[in-house]
């Protein structure tokens, strides 16, 4: 696809069987080119622009962290701007406007606004129950179970599914149920910072687990982990897709050690060249807890996700959830139920997949000559750079109104390599995406 596919990226990063509620684990140049790109590129998409775990303090901290906001969009824009928070007059778009290439946001240009408004209008007529079911609305659970089966090869009944506020909230519910303070939890390094924060708030001892361009390196996992968190569909942030042999090895490791696997199916809906690999949960539902969310399909503002696990664990999580009154709001649940029932969400995902494939091609072309990782799936790509270059490129791009995210800040410890994490869901149009990536190429060129 024009850009250089990276190979041989070095690995990075550095027990009991009964959880807090008695749940037992089974098994033992300059910017001229970029400005030209704005002026001359196709505008096809322009029209679419537009113990700690149970203490009250720990619960409050984890609940605040578990709001399923895009994980990399909390930066204060003023840190990259000029005086008064305005970008320089030389920004690519002018008028202080920015091109946001940070990861973590979905593009909503293909959203059927009529269907969206209808679903929310009808959902608003639902009368909330006096005692909401901590599992979620039964109708939504049934439809989500069917969606997981059709889209991700996850065969489950509604009894194995619990509606959450998003994947981060699902991880928090799991951690509060199965972890005791001091339990060791494996997290990918580099990895998703918000997941680390949620687990730490629940009292876990975080163990950085190395990853490479293919994802989690299973052979390096220690045997004393209570839980390991992984993003096998599109590792965040390096973008690797965990190969089948590693998936099998990871499941065998979990069965042997008695650990649980938290599978965050990050970007699982978006794979471009080949069919997606089946979810880990579909290979062994006894040792895997599957976490899904609408945040990468729609927006985190919807606040709906799902957790799939074996029945005894789902019931334990529901009981724990009821103890600290954690709920998924009924109106968003009903809105998503209607979108699923009418087929609106499935049609939207198909349109989104085609749009993201176009955007991916634009990114690969604009970044031609740079070394890329993770461009076969998902909504972001990693650009590998020499040490100390990513901060320079990020700051110089910000001076031209292009916001970037560095790879280094996703590490738990000292970064082992450097680069940029470029998302292609945030840019309003493909010409803005092309312009921003062209500027990156010019700034990063040797």
pLDDT surpassing 90 at residue 178: yes
Token duo for residue 288: 């895997």
Closest CA to 260 of 316, 328, 337, 302: 316
What pLDDT does 22 receive? Answer: 42
Q: Which of 100-104, 141-145, 189-193 has the lowest mean pLDDT?
A: 100-104
Average confidence (pLDDT) over 120-144: 91
Cα distances from 63 to residues 144, 202, 287, 415, in angstroms, run 24, 10, 25, 29
Q: Helix, strand, or coil here: 261? A: strand
- Buried residues in 352-364 as b, exposed as e (16+ CB within 10 A): beebbeebbebbb
Contact indicator for 51, 181 with CB cutoff of 8 Å: yes
Beta strands 4-5 and 371-373, pairing class: parallel
The pLDDT score that the predictor gives to residue 268 is: 64
**Chain CA centroid to CA 406, Å:** 16
- Helix (H), strand (E) at residue 316: helix 311-323
What percent of the chain shows pLDDT beyond 70? 77
Lowest average pLDDT, out of 38-52, 149-163, 406-420, goes to 38-52
Is residue 300 predicted with pLDDT exceeding 50? yes
User: What's the pLDDT tens digit per position in 82-104?
Assistant: 333 444 445 666 666 899 999 98
Top pLDDT among 136 and 54 is at 136
Look at residue 234 and tell me whether its pLDDT is greater than 70. Answer: yes
Summarised one tens digit per residue, pLDDT across range 369-388 is: 999 998 887 889 999 999 88
Q: Per-residue pLDDT for 81 more than 70?
A: no
- What Rg do the C-alpha atoms of the chain give, in angstroms? 22
Q: Binning pLDDT at 50, 70 and 90, where does residue 334 land? A: very high
The DSSP annotation for 271-308 comes to B-SSPPPPPHHHH-TTTEEEEEESTTTS-GGG--EEEE
pTM score of the predicted model: 0.80
Mean pLDDT computed over 265-271? 73
Give start and end residues of each alpha helix (H) in 30-154: 32-40, 56-65, 113-123, 138-152
Q: How far is CA 422 from the centre of its chain?
A: 14
- Alpha carbon distance 288, 279 (integer Å): 10
Residue 402 scores a pLDDT above 50: yes
| Residues written for the chain | 446
Evaluate if residue 40 carries a pLDDT over 60.
no
Cα torsion angle, 166, 167, 171, 177, sign: positive
| Bridge partners for 185 per DSSP | 206, 227
Rounded distance between C-alpha atoms, residue 169 and residue 173, angstroms: 6
Query: Residue 396: helix, strand or coil by DSSP?
Result: helix
**Domains, in order of start, for the chain:** 4-10+29-50+78-104+348-444 (3.90.1150.10), 113-342 (3.40.640.10)
Residue range 64-79, pLDDT digits in tens = 444 444 444 333 333 4
Q: If you average pLDDT over every residue of the chain, what do you get?
A: 81
**Residue 13 confidence (pLDDT) above 60:** no
Residue with tokens 């471009």: 272
Rounded to whole angstroms, the Cα distance separating 20 from 51 reads 8
Question: Higher-confidence residue: 15 or 441?
Answer: 441
């Amino acid at each position: 696809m024009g850009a250089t596919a990276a190979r041989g990226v070095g690995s990075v990063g550095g027990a009991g069987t009964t959880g807090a509620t008695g749940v037992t684990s089974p098994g033992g140049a300059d910017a001229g080119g970029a400005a030209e790109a704005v002026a001359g590129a196709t505008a096809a998409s322009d029209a679419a622009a537009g113990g700690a775990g149970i203490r009250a303090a720990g619960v409050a901290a984890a609940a605040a962290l578990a709001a399923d906001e895009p994980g990399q969009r909390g930066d204060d824009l003023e840190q990259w701007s000029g005086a008064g928070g305005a970008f320089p007059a030389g920004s690519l778009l002018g008028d202080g406007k920015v091109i946001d290439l940070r990861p973590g946001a979905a593009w909503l240009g293909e959203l059927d606004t009529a269907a969206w408004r209808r679903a929310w209008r009808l959902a608003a007529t639902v009368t909330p129950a006096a005692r909401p079911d901590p599992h979620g609305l039964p109708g939504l659970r049934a439809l989500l179970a069917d969606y997981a089966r059709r889209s991700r090869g996850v065969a489950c009944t509604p009894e194995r599914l619990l509606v959450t506020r998003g994947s981060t909230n699902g991880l928090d519910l799991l951690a509060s149920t199965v972890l005791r303070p001091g339990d060791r939890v494996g997290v990918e390094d580099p990895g998703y910072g918000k997941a680390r924060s949620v687990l730490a708030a629940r009292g876990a001892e975080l163990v950085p687990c190395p990853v490479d361009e293919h994802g989690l390196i299973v052979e390096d996992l220690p045997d004393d982990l209570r839980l390991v968190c992984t993003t096998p569909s599109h590792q965040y942030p390096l973008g690797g897709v965990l190969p089948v042999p590693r998936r099998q090895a990871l499941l065998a490791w979990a069965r042997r050690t008695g650990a649980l696997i938290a599978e965050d199916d990050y970007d699982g809906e978006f794979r471009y060249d080949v069919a997606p690999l089946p979810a880990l949960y579909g290979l062994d539902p006894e040792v895997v807890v599957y976490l899904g969310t609408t945040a990468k399909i729609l927006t985190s503002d919807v606040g709906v996700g799902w957790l799939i696990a074996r029945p005894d664990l789902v019931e334990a999580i529901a009981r724990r959830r009821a103890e600290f009154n954690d709920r998924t709001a009924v109106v968003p649940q009903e809105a998503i139920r209607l979108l699923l029932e009418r087929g609106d969400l499935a049609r939207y995902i198909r349109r989104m997949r085609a749009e993201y494939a176009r955007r991916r091609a634009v990114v690969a072309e604009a970044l031609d000559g740079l070394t890329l990782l993770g461009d076969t799936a998902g909504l972001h790509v990693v650009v590998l750079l020499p040490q100390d270059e990513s901060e320079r490129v990020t700051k110089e791009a910000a001076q031209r109104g292009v916001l970037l995210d560095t790879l280094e800040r996703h590490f738990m410890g000292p970064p082992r390599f450097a680069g940029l994490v470029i998302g292609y869901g945030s840019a309003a149009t493909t010409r803005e995406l092309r312009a921003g990536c062209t500027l990156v190429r010019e700034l990063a060129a040797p």
